[in-house]
Chain A
Amino acid sequence: MIDFKDLGKKYGATYALRGVTLHVPEGEFFAYLGPNGAGKSTTLRILTGLTRRTSGEAYLNGFHIERDSLQAKRQCGLVPQAINLDQELTVYENLNLHGLLFRIPAAERSRKINELLDYIGLGDRQGSLVSRLSGGMKRRLTIARALVHSPRILFLDEPTVGLDAGIRRRIWALIKKIQNNGTTIFLTTHYIEEAEFLAERVAFLDEGRIIAVDTPQALIARQGTWAIDRVVDDDIKTVYFKTREEATQYSVNQEESFSLRRVNLEDAFLALTGKKVK
């Protein structure tokens, strides 16, 4: 369970986060969606103890992030945006070090590491130096590392950024599998399809403020179900419809080229903010 109220962060005169409030119940897959600079990573950095908040309060499974910081940190695992594995250490050593930091007893640590390496398909690479792994393997290893201490909350900061479509889908499957075990997932992303495919609820974040929180389906439904994109004066104009029939009827009268598609979260975000997520 993640709770925060009026959480704010200011760097000098610049607000990175302007008093956001949110409740994520235990076991939920929650996505935090917004363009670069919206405050997604700042929220996550505050919750995981990497950055100090300027205002507000935050709790992880009831533990205050600063007053009970050690307990709060034990609740969560973090998969940062930049891969921060120790390149000079082996796959096993990286996971073992994490287990030591979280004070996992040796026998349990070893069992858990072997289990996780099999889980992410790196069972045969435990003696390899991290520097010799591919980008996708490193990303999977970063996720596995965050799971060594069996956290009840997993924070993922843009976990698939820079990965190709095939690897991205494998990572999605892995994250979904983790959530099925009862772990609360808090995902920040600017990939629309990622949030739409994975999350049970989504928050739209823009300029440090949460502007909407709902299920992906409900956010999309606010706009309609079908959309027609038309090229008008070097720009794309989109018209939304409740049903496919309405959209088809509308398209009959169009002289310019157009495309018919389903409404997605990008449309919902655009309607609320006037800007695109990416």
Chain B
Amino acid sequence: MYGWLAVYYRELLILKRRFPKMLASMSVSPLLYLIAFGYAMGKTVMIHGHTYMEFLIPGLVAMSSMTRAFGIGSEINISRFYWHIFEEFQAAPINNISYALGETLAGMTRALFAVILIILLGLLFGVVLRYDSPMFWLAIFLNSFVFSSLAVGLAMIVKSHADQAMLTSFVITPMAFLGGTFFPLSRLPVWAQDILYFVPLSHASKAIRAASFGEPVSLTSYLFLAGIGAAFFFMAVCFVNRARD
């Protein structure tokens, strides 16, 4: 199991080297969403007793933790198809669980930085929510675990970098907009709500929003995220072997 530390260590070194650039690129989208949707369009909008800016920030936290955690898949692909660094891990005496765990944790670490950045941006706009709630951080932890595990698993089976980009377009982008980030799901028709109930981001948005408002959280959402995260992680471990061909 020790191998995960080496895999994680490598990702941290890369993160450290790219940190200023990464921070800048991480800020652009949330800042634009906050200005366009939160500040300009949503100025007069109230949702469930909260300003739209207050409603938006937990949604952006959920969305960014998802996209940044999923982004580890692209990093793996670059090191696999372009730099061939993945072969260094394959030839090392580490098992599949260690590799998957190291990369999953790396994705979760990136997600954590994205979340902190959004909280800081929110403060700039004068929005202070309940970030001291353990349930807030637990929901972020589970959400990033779900999408980081999914990304690691998919990165093992895609055949090119283009395939990975396609997955982002067809899976992550629709989820980002329909997972309760920008509007409450209760405004959609019931059939759409039923479908979106099975989208992990819907549960993450709901849990993160409730915790950050200091409202009671739904345990079902946490169990759903934990269950699906465990399933994706198991899938990632199994798929590491498939990457050997």
Contact = CB atoms under 8 A, between A and B. Distances in A.
A51 B14 contact: no
B215 interface: no
B2 interface: yes
B95 A100 contact: no
A97 B93 contact: no
Given A84-B83, A86-B83, A101-B3, A50 B9 contact: no
B14 A84 contact: no
A25 B2 CA distance: 32
Given A70-B95, A73-B93, A84-B85, 19 more contacts: A50-B87, A50-B90, A51-B245, A52-B244, A52-B245, A73-B92, A84-B88, A85-B85, A86-B10, A86-B83, A86-B85, A88-B14, A89-B10, A100-B5, A101-B6, A101-B92, A101-B93, A102-B92, A103-B3
A100 B84 contact: no
Nearest to B243: A50
30 contacts: A48-B91, A49-B90, A49-B91, A50-B90, A50-B91, A51-B244, A51-B245, A52-B244, A52-B245, A70-B94, A70-B95, A73-B91, A73-B92, A76-B91, A78-B87, A78-B91, A84-B85, A86-B10, A86-B13, A86-B83, A87-B83, A88-B14, A88-B17, A93-B13, A97-B13, A101-B88, A101-B89, A101-B93, A101-B94, A102-B92
Interface of B: 2-3, 5-6, 9-10, 13-14, 17-18, 83-85, 87-95, 244-245
A89 B84 contact: no
Nearest to A86: B85
Contacts of A50: 87, 90-91, 244
Contacts of A86: 10, 13-14, 83, 85
A74 B244 contact: no
Given A49-B91, A50-B91, A97-B9, A84 B244 contact: no
Contacts, number: 70
B93 A102 contact: yes
A140 to B, nearest CB: 17
B3 to A, nearest CB: 6
B87 A98 contact: no
**Interface of chain A, main secondary structure:** loop
**Can you list the 5 inter-chain pairs with the closest CB atoms, starting with the nearest?**
A100-B6, A84-B84, A101-B92, A73-B93, A70-B93
A80 B85 contact: no
Interface of A: 48-52, 69-71, 73-74, 76, 78, 80, 82, 84-89, 93, 97-98, 100-103
A48 B93 CA distance: 10
B6 A80 contact: no
B18 A88 contact: yes
A79 to B, nearest CB: 10
A76 B83 CA distance: 22
A80 B10 contact: no
A102 B92 CA distance: 7
Given A49-B90, A71-B93, A97 B244 contact: no
A82 B14 CA distance: 21
A98 B9 contact: no
A130 to B, nearest CB: 10
A204 B10 CA distance: 39
B10 A97 contact: yes
A30 B6 CA distance: 32
A74 B93 contact: yes
A151 B113 CA distance: 39
Contacts of A69: 93
Contact of A80 (B18, B84, B92): B84
B89 A82 contact: no
Nearest to B17: A88
